[in-house]
Amino acid sequence: MGRMRKLLIPGVDKTLLVRDAVKSMPDLTRRRFISGGASLGALTFLTGCDVTDSFSAEEMLKQVSKFNDGVQALMFNPNAMAPTFPESAITKPFPFNAYYDLDEAPEVDGKTWKLEVRGLVENKKSWTLDELYQLPQVKQVTRHICVEGWSAIGSWTGTPLRDFLKLVGADTRAKYVWFQCADKDGYNSPLDMPSALHAQTQMTFKFGDEILPRAYGFPMKIRVPTKLGFKNPKYVMSMEVTNDYKGGFWEDQGYNSFSGS
Amino acid sequence: MSAVTVSDQHAASTKAKIIQPAWVRALHWTNAFAMVLMIMSGWQIYNASPLFGFTFPRSITLGGWLAGGLLWHFAAMWLLMVNGLIYLVMGFVTGRFRKKLLPITPEGVISDTRAALTGKLSHDDLSRYNYVQKLLYAGIIVVGILIVLSGLALWKPVQLQYLAALFGGYEGARYVHFFCMAAIVAFLVVHVALALLVPKSLRAMIIGR
């Protein structure tokens, strides 16, 4: 909500602004946005609240979701490791999953790509892929759980994010690490600092011992086995250490922001 | 002397015989509301990644799409859990579970099932459950506990991984959660049908008498 408010322009009618914004959305997003709204309208009879009231079902659900963010942050145990599995348990083929088809997945040129590092860090230098490949890597075989309910076990290899944050002199008292990605329509996602500092949270460069293929996020993915899949951004272009909640692609559409597992 | 005692007892029991105390009624209808929200939003979530070869019709799901279904599910869960916890505590503390649901004997269940199916089961005293009711009500409490625990395991398969392990891990918990839902829906169909067949039982759950 804070993000929405910042985006609103003084003197511009909010309703018209939202209507125009919906028009510019890609078809799928627009359909979901509208069907979401329509069903909330249908719920009016259940809750006795009109959705146009300041206290609407939608607003109540948003507040509970925020409350759930807090509950999950309290439940998060930095020392609890996601269960690991033998290599024989790896799901083959590991599913490709996105809001677009595989042939629309970003094609990032690894030779020119640089990871941009911004925000509350001492060293804001950008990193080439070769430089990142020099950092120590560890492998994990963990379960990826999608917000849709399905799960799959995969093998990811890369540098623990906390080691990298230390290396660039990040202020780890900041609230979030915010990732921006190359996906069409601009994917981004915030990661709370305690989860970013979890031992298994990883800047991933390999899947199944091979250089991360395009389908799984080349050149770099952030693997967070303590979060649902959509909090594991692929095709990462930049990271920003920040105290501001900057929202995320799915988070802004109503998915719970913490979405821890 | 004995005649007076009997008539006194009779007067007392007809004047203020509460079949369902107020706390039971309040918790029952809160649970019914929360349960309907949980089931309908749960079907929405199921449809995003069906375990079996079918999905639930959109018209009977809640939330419009996956994110909406999840928002409802993780909001109504608090109502369901807090209400359910109060019910369990009250059930044990007041002795209601012991008095109403126990004992459950196989012979009693068999003879009452036979009586029910031949239309000979008595509903004269609604304050006493027959053996079929005892079995179903005790059973659905156990299913209610299981669906909440398997749901918590699905919500937090890492933080509550020991709980998830009890259900055979994350994927196992999905199946347990689904079959508990199926059991509750089946119970609901029978429960509502029987309440409509014996309307005074429905009245007792609304006004207490």
Annotated domain spans of chain B: 2-207
Beta bridge partners of A204: A158, A221
Instruction: Tell me whether the omega of the peptide bond preceding residue A93 falls within 30 degrees of 0, making it cis.
Output: yes
pLDDT at B124 over 70: yes
| Among A186, A135, A185, residue whose Cα is nearest residue A165 | A135
How buried is B194 (Cβ within 10 angstroms: 0-12 exposed, 13-18 middle, 19+ buried)?
A: middle
Say if residue B2's pLDDT is above 80: no
pLDDT value of position B68: 96
Provide the pLDDT for residue A126: 98
Contacts of residue B112, Cβ cutoff 8 Å, sequence gap at least 6? B121, B130, B131, B132
Is A18 in contact with A252 (CB distance < 8 Å)?
no
Name which of B158, B162, B176 to mutate to probe chain A: the one with the most chain A Cβ atoms within 10 A of its Cβ.
Answer: B158
What is the predicted ipTM?
0.88
Residue of A nearest to B63 (CA): A39
Report pLDDT digits (tens) over A47-79: 554 444 446 899 999 999 999 999 999 999 999
Query: How far is C-alpha B14 from the geometric centre of its chain's CA atoms?
Result: 29
- Rounded mean pLDDT of A127-147? 98
CB A40 within 8 A of CB A52: no
| Test mutation, A46, A99, A227, chain B, max B CBs within 10 A | A46
CA–CA dist A19, A109 (Å, integer):
37
Is the CB of residue A248 less than 8 Å away from at least one CB of chain B? no
Give the CATH architecture of domain B2-207.
Up-down Bundle (1.20)
Instruction: Cite the DSSP H helix spans in chain A.
Output: 2-7, 14-24, 27-42, 44-47, 57-75, 129-133, 161-167, 193-196
Within 8 A of B170 by CB-CB distance, chain A residues are 143, 145, 151
CB contact under 8 A, A61 and B67: no
CA distance B45 to chain A (A): 7
Q: Is the pLDDT of residue B199 over 60?
A: yes
Reply yes or no: is the peptide bond before residue A219 cis, omega within 30 of 0: yes
Give the model confidence (pLDDT) of B131-185 as tens digits: 989 999 999 999 999 999 999 999 999 999 999 999 999 999 999 999 999 999 9
Q: Return the higher-pLDDT residue of B197 and B177.
A: B177
**What single string gives the DSSP state of each residue in B115-177?**
HHHTT----S-TTS--HHHHHHHHHHHHHHHHHHHHHHHHH-TTTTHHHHHHTTHHHHHHHHH
**pLDDT band at residue A222 under the 50/70/90 scheme:** very high
- How many pairs of residues across A and B have Cβ atoms under 8 Å apart? 88
With cut-offs at 50, 70 and 90, classify the pLDDT of residue B128. Answer: confident
For residue A177, which of A197, A153, A157 has the smallest C-alpha distance?
Answer: A197
Q: How far is A226 from chain B (nearest CA, A)?
A: 6
Please answer whether residues A39 and B68 qualify as being in contact, where contact means their C-beta atoms are separated by less than 8 angstroms: yes
The C-alpha torsion from A10 through A13 and A14 to A19, rounded to 10°, is: -130
Give the A window 58-87 contacts with B, CB below 8 Å. 60-62, 64-65, 68, 72, 75-77, 80-83
H/E element holding B189? helix B169-197
Cis preceding-peptide flag for A190 (omega within 30 of 0): no
> Tens of pLDDT along A27-51?
554 444 444 444 444 454 455 544 4
Alpha-carbon distances of A49 from A35, A52, A174, B121, rounded to whole Å: 19, 8, 38, 44
Query: Bigger pLDDT: B49 or B209?
Result: B49
Q: Roughly how many angstroms between the first and final C-alpha of chain A, as a whole number?
A: 24
Per-residue pLDDT band for B11 (boundaries 50, 70, 90) equals very low
**pTM tops 0.95:** no
pLDDT of residue A25: 56
For chain A, what percent of residues have pLDDT higher than 70?
Answer: 79
Instruction: Report pLDDT for B120.
Output: 83
Q: What is the mean pLDDT of residues A94-101?
A: 95
Distance CA A156, CA A138 (A): 8
Confidence of residue A17 (pLDDT cuts 50, 70, 90): low
CA–CA separation, B195 and B117 (whole Å): 16
- The answer, yes or no, to whether residue B12 has pLDDT greater than 80, is no
Q: What is the pLDDT of residue A55?
A: 65
Distance CA A245, CA B65 (A): 25
pLDDT at residue A110 tops 80: yes
pLDDT recorded at residue A72: 98
Alpha-carbon gap: A119 to the closest alpha carbon of chain B (Å): 30
- In the prediction, which pLDDT does B17 show? 82
Instruction: Using DSSP bridges, classify how beta strands A127-128 and A176-181 pair: parallel, antiparallel or unpaired.
Output: unpaired
**pLDDT single digits (tens) B27-84:** 999 999 999 999 999 999 999 999 999 999 999 999 999 999 999 999 999 999 999 9
pLDDT value at residue A239: 98
Contact A108, A230 (CB under 8 A): no
Percent of chain A topping pLDDT 90? 78
Task: State the best of B33, B39, B51, B71 to mutate against chain A, taking most chain A CBs within 10 Å.
Answer: B71
